[in-house]
Structure 1
Amino acid sequence: MRDIARRAGVSESAVSFALNNRPGVSEDTRQRILGVAKELSWHPNSAARALSAARAGTVGLVFARPAKTLGIEPFFLQLVSGMQAVLSVRASALLFQVVENMAAEMALYRQWWSEHRVDGVLVVDPRVDDPRPALLVELGLPALLIGGPTSTGTVPSIWADDTGAMASIVDYLVGLGHRRIAHIAGLPELIHTKRRIDSFRAATRKYGLSTHDSVATDYSDEAGARETRQLLAEPGPPTAIIYDNDVMAVAGVGVAGELGLSVPSDLSVVAWDDSVLCRLTHPQLTALVRDTHAFGSHAAQQLLALIEGEAPHDVEDDVPRLEPRGSTAPPPLP
């Protein structure tokens, strides 16, 4: 700052105002200072800024899930990509870690807080009975739940309307003429899974369908294939199956082919999350479409606002829209 002040012919305080985009200098002076800073190849020292602002310049993200499910689900890659797009512009780092269970995740929050490693955390997979919000409030660590809100409402959240999205899928399948519909769900303890299961049950009751109950899985292709095989082996098998992610839906199409069934002539398939997988499969999969990258960006923006002192509040993101493709059709004739 002393070098820039000397070269620009201004005080060091004027340099500070200009470089931190604060009032106190004229626009002409600000531009002259920024020009000198550029000539001198000046960049902010993140460590020094963290010390002066009592901030780490880092946001934390922990996944307490089986590692294999993270490696095969495009959703998480798009979500993290959206977060990083915002954080990188704001010169914030993303500290990412995968742990075995929620106890390990909570221990990590305590460690990060005690070491001042992060300014806030993005919390994924809110649970029905989730102990994490109470801990984060106790620590005073800014946090945003992705997929909430929880029943306690103590930590703000960003979420999409899973209830309405599931209802739209059932409405669509019933409109095609399906009366036997199954739902292969994800982890049952997750709030968004519960919302989908509850909505599926409500929609099938509304239409008086002869339907199967939701089946919980770990989101893996193995589980999707196993449950599909079991459903199709039952008397009066479903003519349509809704899968809670793209990976399980693709596995389900494969199982149908093994059993000599044609998609969509014999079985209609719907994937919850759209991805490249859905568009590369033959036939292309009917899927719920949303901008997951943008969802991740919105989450990062919301957390940064909380860190800056904005009042916490819940944010409902865009509802995913159903895009019919080649994997759905009217059911086979009796």
Structure 2
Amino acid sequence: MTTSRRPLKMADIAALASVSTSAVSLALNDRPGVSEATRQRILSIATELGWFPNAAARALVGARAGTVGLVLTRPARDIGIEPFYMSFIAGLEAALSVQRTGLLLQFAQDEQAELDTYRRWVAEQRVDGLVLLDLRVNDPRPGLVRDMAIPFVVIGDPRYAPGATAVWSDDGAAIAATVRRLVELGHRRLARVSEQTTMAHTTIRNRAFVEACTGLDLPSPFVVEAAPSAVGSRSATHQLLTGTTRPTAIVYDNNIMAVAGLGVAHELGLVVPDHVSLVAYDDSVLCESTHPALSAISHDVHSYGEHAGRLLLDVIDGVDSEPSLDSVPRLIERGSTGPLRAPDPTLAGR
């Protein structure tokens, strides 16, 4: 016959520590009222016994849930392919784990489902704070979440989330520097394959791209909007490379799009970079594994996630936190960029 183990209670810890259950509650919930020595003795006993608080009971007394929430409004299958998200989440969890805080991750089909998830989590006191990823133009989420009176951090340029605590990378400066480098290599007909312009980072990159080309007196650049996927990029790249005026360099909004674009160039008989140079955004092992290896606008995405996690924990603790610039991504040059070295095969016979 088997016997089930009785659930561990605060009274058990109190008996072993020779203190009252109220003292145990104060110590475990990190509240004043017990000496530091007593607190450490209680925590040590609780750890040895494998005690974990009941989430519902913690909510009733206003204690923290020990969890923060992240909702992604993208297909789950795409997240597994796009290295940015997995690296960012890994960094986020690394920062949270230092404070023994968990991450509650959920996928939503659309913005309304995302907002409904936030409302449910807040009503159920499931999370102590939220991470708002994929900042959008005219994004309603920061204002609505602020009205829920829950701490949150926005990942993206604070100009698109006024008054919110934000952490971001300077995409505009990175794009401008990349355009200047391509011009140094002799390119003048430039193009960009971008994500949807409803995204704040896409709008920033597009604006910086056009302004940099204009400032360098280049012909009007091509900007083609596409779904942030291999399928979307293939269509956009084919459109650019079979047009009457083919660009000699293309900058993509992520590495999946750049890999797909490289495949289209090969299929059309173009040699990269002799006929066309390609640049990805967000470097990864994937960029190093193609032939030729893809040049990429790179920043440490894992560190970016850690930065966001630390900032959110500060906000949860009531620390006044200003928007924080994480990094200015930089171009890593590999085999997919270089000066034009061969006649344009698409112009043969014209």
Identity of aligned residues (%): 47
Please state whether the residue corresponding to 1:214 is helix, strand or coil: strand
Using a 3 Å threshold, how does the CA distance of structure 1 residues 111 and 15 change in structure 2: closer, same or farther? closer
Unaligned runs of 5+ in 1: none
TM-score, structure 1 length as denominator? 0.90
Are residues 1:206 and 2:210 paired?
no
Using a 3 Å threshold, how does the CA distance of structure 1 residues 26 and 199 change in structure 2: closer, same or farther? closer
Match of 1:274 among 274, 283, 286: 283
Task: Work out the CA distance in 1 between the residues paired with 2:222 and 2:246.
Answer: 12
Match of 2:112 among 88, 94, 103: 103
Match of 1:78 among 84, 87, 90: 87
The answer for the alignment partner of 2:184 in structure 1 is 175
Question: 1:256, CA displacement in angstroms?
Answer: 0.6
Unaligned runs of 5+ in 2: 1-9, 344-350
Match of 2:53 among 30, 40, 45: 45
Tell me if structure 1 keeps the 8 A contact 2:160–2:200: no
Task: Work out the CA distance in 2 between the residues paired with 1:210 and 1:323.
Answer: 25
CA distances 1:5-64 after superposition (whole Å, capped 9, x unpaired): 65566777776777677886466x7776666555x4343425354544433222111112
The amino acid of 2:141's aligned partner reads R
Please state whether the residue corresponding to 2:273 is helix, strand or coil: coil
The answer for the alignment partner of 1:192 in structure 2 is 201
The amino acid of 1:183's aligned partner reads R
Using a 3 Å threshold, how does the CA distance of structure 1 residues 95 and 30 change in structure 2: closer, same or farther? closer
Question: 1:320, CA displacement in angstroms?
Answer: 1.2
Count of residues paired in the alignment: 332
The answer for the alignment partner of 1:91 in structure 2 is 100
Tell me if structure 1 keeps the 8 A contact 2:29–2:63: no
Tell me if structure 1 keeps the 8 A contact 2:214–2:220: no
The answer for the alignment partner of 2:171 in structure 1 is 162
The answer for the alignment partner of 2:5 in structure 1 is none
The amino acid of 2:217's aligned partner reads G
Question: 1:333, CA displacement in angstroms?
Answer: 5.4
Task: Work out the CA distance in 1 between the residues paired with 2:59 and 2:92.
Answer: 21
Task: Work out the CA distance in 2 between the residues paired with 1:165 and 1:252.
Answer: 21
Please state whether the residue corresponding to 1:300 is helix, strand or coil: helix
- Farther off after superposition, 249-258 or 128-137: 128-137
Are residues 1:242 and 2:259 paired?
no
Task: Work out the CA distance in 2 between the residues paired with 1:9 and 1:116.
Answer: 32
Aligned-residue CA RMSD (Å): 2.5
Task: Work out the CA distance in 1 between the residues paired with 2:113 and 2:62.
Answer: 29
Task: Work out the CA distance in 1 between the residues paired with 2:206 and 2:269.
Answer: 29
The amino acid of 1:162's aligned partner reads D
Using a 3 Å threshold, how does the CA distance of structure 1 residues 260 and 118 change in structure 2: closer, same or farther? same
